């Protein structure tokens, strides 16, 4: 990798035509040699740092990858990113009209509201895997010619199919120099109902609630090109993965990769947005007073129906069927403002660890989730339940008092303990014996508007298993189902009138190196890509509440309303700031 240990020596020297072409910056003294980082200043004056693309390096890496049985080899360039935001980078790839183009923008914020280190942007995958009630479709756009479409009419486990494709066709070469994070691979979602593939006898599709939206159960897309924006280093990695099976000689692969890289770099350097981004004055905090009125939201259940569902759930708890069940209702509202503008608003008023804008088959996902569904990093599986919530205080003293009250609330603590047990069980299904343990217990995590009780459970992934196995074992999280999980889901099937779709599932990525990071699809808006005759968008906002033995129906109902209203504020802000 560029750099090394030792004292950094900074020099600037000019070379070439005038003062514009080649500037050598950042001499660094390594352990045994000096290394030079080259910055090529193009017409825009944006520095480009070239790594991993010399012909000699590629020839050697190509030969080694072939000898090792690998199929994918990365090429990349670094570009100064202090002139472009992730939102702008996304709009450079996808226009406002291209709502059917599979694509993603993944960002993150720390608990104090600061930006996380990396953002990820990608569009136009080379493969899509789509599953709907045992029928799976694979669309393969790799190579020359039209896409190859494969229909699998009775696919009992699409997660196993994804693992099979990954292990048989996508073995990636490990190289130095790429950031230690996602640099390409699968991005998409697995909805709440994907658990049915693993529990066909207990949770058959035939007994699921009404499927009124007909959304996919699962949509995973393979991206061999992407941007990784490093906010700490103020650099953007433009990355292309070369499929060695498409090239007989390394020269062909190198030339093709270089052309693709040049195109990706030019997009960032020139910053030519495919659609303009609306700019407006925004007063913050934006009406943080419960300003989203209920009449703007309609539900798939009446108030009376929801109360009766709670009563039935508590009967099950009293009979000993379950300890807890998470019942939800799905709200909806129409708006003329587009989903990307709503995402821009959401990232302003509710920054979260998982901020997501994702265009999928048939729908767009806009999310600001605080919670991991499952994470696998260097074969360590992480589950991190969040349960127990209080609003943030207006002063440090009020904040501390709310924290103290939350940690003394017996109902909240009992629910959280159940979810820790569920997390241990989920991780234990795929972890080596004796490695499952909590690393944090009952800690308070603060976000922009609320605080939660958080715990973390980890374990070492068993030999022979992959991230796909870990993901399948953890879907859905106990925080959106209940305990025991399967029985709680059966009761949800009986009590909720419509399928949940992406809500309650996982949204995120599985990298070429088998690292996984999936957010739990909470605080997630689902927007169908079809609009009505007035060209308005239909926004679905789903929220749930954990029902236990001493639950109060009114407070549980209000909890779901409050959660939906919080999401609705982002639509209001987008209409005010970006609406046309």
User: Distances from the Cα of 95 to the Cαs of 92, 272, 365, 409, 558, in angstroms?
Assistant: 7, 11, 17, 48, 38
Active-site residue flag, 452: yes
Which of these is catalytic: 166, 183, 479, 524?
479
Active-site residue flag, 254: no
How many residues are listed for the chain in this entry?
Answer: 580
Asked whether the beta carbons of 25 and 13 are under 8 A apart, the reply is: no
Q: In the block, which residue shows the tokens 């190859």?
A: 148
What is the C-alpha to C-alpha distance for residues 481 and 470, in angstroms, rounded to an integer?
A: 18
150, burial (CB in 10 Å: exposed 0-12, middle 13-18, buried 19+): exposed
Which of these is catalytic: 503, 509, 539, 540?
503
Helix axes 250-270, 86-93, angle to 10 degrees: 120
Which of these is catalytic: 316, 452, 472, 500?
452
Active-site residue flag, 523: yes
Active-site residue flag, 302: no
Asked whether the beta carbons of 354 and 369 are under 8 A apart, the reply is: yes
Which of these is catalytic: 52, 506, 546, 568?
546
Active-site residue flag, 192: no
Question: Among 147, 489, 163, which Cα is nearest to 326's?
Answer: 489
Task: List, in order, residues 6 or more apart from 283 with CB less than 8 Å away.
Answer: none
Q: Which backbone phi and psi does 223 adopt, to 5 degrees?
A: -110, 120
The alpha carbon dihedral of 338, 340, 343, 348 has a sign of negative
Which of these is catalytic: 379, 523, 539, 560?
523
Collapsing DSSP to helix, strand or coil, 404 comes out as: helix
User: Which sequence positions are flagged as catalytic?
Assistant: 452, 479, 503, 523, 546
């Amino acid at each position: 990798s560029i750099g090394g240990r030792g004292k950094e020596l900074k020099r600037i020297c000019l070379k070439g035509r005038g003062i514009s072409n080649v500037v050598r910056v950042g001499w660094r003294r390594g352990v045994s040699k000096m290394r030079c980082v080259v910055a090529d200043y193009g017409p825009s004056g944006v520095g480009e740092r070239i790594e991993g693309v010399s012909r000699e390096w590629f020839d050697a890496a190509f030969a080694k990858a072939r000898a090792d049985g690998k199929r994918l080899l990365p090429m990349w360039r670094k570009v100064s990113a202090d002139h472009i935001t992730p939102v702008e980078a996304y709009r450079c790839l996808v226009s406002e009209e291209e709502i059917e183009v599979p694509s993603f923008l993944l960002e993150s914020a720390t608990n104090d509201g600061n930006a996380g280190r990396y953002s990820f942007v990608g569009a136009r995958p080379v493969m899509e895997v789509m599953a709907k009630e045992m029928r799976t479709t694979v669309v393969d756009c790799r190579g020359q010619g039209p896409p190859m479409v494969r229909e699998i009419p009775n696919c009992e486990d699409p997660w196993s199919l994804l693992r099979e494709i990954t292990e048989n066709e996508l073995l990636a070469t490990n190289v130095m120099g790429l950031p230690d994070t996602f640099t390409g691979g699968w991005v998409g979602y697995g909805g709440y109902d994907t658990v049915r593939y693993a529990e066909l006898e207990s949770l058959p599709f035939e007994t699921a609630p009404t499927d009124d939206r007909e959304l996919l159960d699962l949509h995973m897309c393979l991206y061999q090109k992407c941007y990784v924006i490093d906010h700490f280093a103020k650099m953007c990695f433009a990355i292309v993965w070369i499929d060695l099976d498409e090239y007989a000689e390394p020269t062909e692969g190198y030339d093709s990769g270089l052309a693709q890289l040049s195109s990706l770099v030019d997009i960032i350097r020139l910053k030519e947005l495919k659609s303009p981004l609306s700019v407006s004055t925004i007063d913050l905090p934006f009406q943080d007073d419960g300003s989203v009125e209920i009449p703007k939201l309609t539900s798939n259940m009446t108030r009376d129906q929801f109360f009766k569902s709670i009563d039935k759930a508590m009967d099950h708890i009293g009979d000993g069927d379950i300890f807890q069940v998470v019942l939800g209702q799905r709200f909806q509202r129409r708006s003329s403002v587009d989903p990307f503008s709503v995402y821009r608003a959401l990232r302003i008023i509710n920054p979260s660890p998982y901020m997501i804008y994702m265009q999928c088959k048939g729908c767009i996902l806009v999310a600001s989730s605080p919670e991991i569904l499952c994470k696998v990093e260097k074969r360590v599986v992480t589950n991190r339940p969040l349960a127990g919530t209080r609003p943030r205080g207006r002063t440090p003293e009020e904040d501390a008092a709310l924290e103290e009250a939350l940690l003394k609330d017996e109902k909240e603590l009992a629910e959280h303990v159940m979810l820790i047990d569920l997390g241990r069980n989920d991780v234990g299904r795929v972890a080596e014996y004796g490695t499952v343990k909590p690393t944090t217990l009952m800690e308070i995590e603060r976000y922009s508007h609320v605080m939660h009780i958080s715990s973390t459970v980890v374990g070492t992934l068993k030999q022979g298993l992959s991230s796909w196995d870990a993901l399948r074992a953890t879907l859905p999280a106990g925080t959106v189902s209940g305990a025991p999980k399967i029985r709680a889901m059966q009761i949800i099937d009986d009590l909720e009138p419509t399928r949940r779709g992406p809500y309650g599932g996982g949204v995120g990525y599985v990298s070429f190196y088998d690292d996984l990071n999936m957010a739990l699809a909470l605080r997630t808006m689902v927007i169908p890509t079809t609009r009505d005759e007035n060209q308005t968008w239909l926004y679905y906002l789903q929220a749930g509440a954990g029902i236990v033995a001493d639950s109060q129906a009114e407070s549980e109902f209000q909890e779901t309303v409050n959660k939906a209203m919080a999401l609705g504020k982002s639509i209001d802000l987008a209409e005010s700031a970006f609406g046309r």
